[in-house]
Amino acid sequence: KAMCSGKLQTGLLVAGYFVYLLVGAAVFQALERTAEKQEKIAAAQMKEAFLQNFTHLTVAEMEQFMKNLTEAIQNGVYPVGNESQIEDSNWDFSNSFFFAGTVVSTIGYGTLCPKTAGGQIFCVFFALFGIPLNIVFLHRVGKMLSLLCKQLGKYLYEKGMRKKKIKFLTLLFFLATGILVFLCLPSLFFQITEGWSYSEGIYFAFITLSTIGFGDYVVGKKPGRNYFSYYRTLVAIWILFGLAWIALLFNL
CB atoms within 10 A of CB 98: 23
Low-confidence residues in the chain, pLDDT < 50: none
pLDDT at residue 233 in the model: 82
pLDDT at residue 248 in the model: 82
Cα(61)–Cα(49) distance, integer angstroms: 11
Cα(161)–Cα(154) distance, integer angstroms: 10
Q: How many helices (H) and strands (E) does the chain have?
A: 8, 0
pTM of the model: 0.86
pLDDT at residue 179 in the model: 94
Cα(91)–Cα(38) distance, integer angstroms: 13
pLDDT at residue 83 in the model: 60
Q: Find the radius of gyration of the CA atoms of the chain.
A: 23
pLDDT at residue 190 in the model: 96
Asked if 214 and 189 touch (Cβ cutoff 8 Å), the reply is no
User: Cα(first)–Cα(last) distance of the chain, in Å?
Assistant: 28
pLDDT at residue 82 in the model: 65
Q: What angle do CA 141, 143, 145 make, to 5 degrees?
A: 70
Which helix H or strand E contains 154, and what residues bound it? helix 117-158
pLDDT at residue 27 in the model: 97
Burial, 211: exposed, middle or buried (Cβ in 10 Å; 0-12, 13-18, 19+)? middle
**Contacts (Cβ under 8 Å, ≥6 apart) of 25:** 93, 96, 97, 99, 100
